[in-house]
Amino acid sequence: MVKKKKATKKTTKATKKSPKQSAKDSKPMTVTQLRREEIVNLKEALKLGRDDLLQAEQVVEAARSKKKYPNLHSGFEWSDTKAAHEYRLQQARHIIVSVYVVRTHRNKEIRVQEYSSLRSDQQKTGGGYRETVSVLSDKEMREELLGQAWDEFNYWRSKYEQFRELGPIFEAADKLAAKNKKKGK
C-alpha cells in the first residue's frame, strides 16, 4: 500500500500561486510547476542529457541556494532537528505498514497488511493506523479503504499506462469499476 503523506505546510505551499505565468494557459504557475522548471534548469546547469541520471544529492545541494532555486529550497526542511524528527516519523510509518500477517481467506492463505491508514485518520493531528481486520469489518471504513485502493490504482495506472502489456489489467479494472458503478458503490 502506498502511504499518502499527511498534508503539511510544505504541501500547502505547493498549491499557492506564483506571480510567474505559465506559457500554456496564462494562469499563475503553482510552486510544483516552478519546481519542475527549476529541476529542468538544474539539469541544464549540470549539463545532464536526456539519458543522464539526476541524483537526489544534486537536487539537495542546489536547493541550498535560496536565491537560485527558491522553489526547490522551500520544499525542504532546513532545520536539522526538525528534519531528523520528520524522518524518524516517516521511518515509523514505513515500519508500521511493513507489518504483514498471514490469514486464511476462502481456504487460501494470503498475506495481509496488518495496519491501514485511512484518509479520515490522516487528517487528524498525528494521523494513525488501524488494524486492517477492524477496517474491513466496518462498512464505512471498508468503503473508505476501498476508495483509497481505487485512487492508488488509478495513480499507478497514470504512471504506467503507456505500457501496452498492462492494457488487459486496465481493461479488467474498467469493467469492474463499471460493474460497481451500476451497483451503486
Segment 134-179, tens digit of pLDDT = 999 999 999 999 999 999 999 999 999 999 999 999 999 999 989 8
Q: Which amino acid is at 92?
A: A
The predicted-structure confidence for 85-130, as pLDDT tens digits, reads as follows 999 999 999 999 999 999 898 999 999 999 999 999 999 998 999 9
Measured CA angle at 126 (ends 124, 131), to 5 deg: 85
Phi then psi for residue 94, to 5 deg, are -60, -45
Residue 19 pLDDT class (50, 70, 90 cuts): very low
Contact criterion met (CB below 8 Å) for 144 and 160? no
Residue 24 pLDDT class (50, 70, 90 cuts): low
Full-prediction pTM beyond 0.75?
Answer: no
DSSP class of residue 49?
A: -
Residue 20 pLDDT class (50, 70, 90 cuts): low
Domain ranges of the chain: 9-73, 99-183
Rounded-to-5 percentages of helix, strand, coil across the chain? 55, 15, 30
Measured CA angle at 183 (ends 178, 185), to 5 deg: 80
Q: Distance (Å, rounded) from C-alpha 102 to C-alpha 109?
A: 6
Hey, what's the cell of 172?
Answer: 479488467
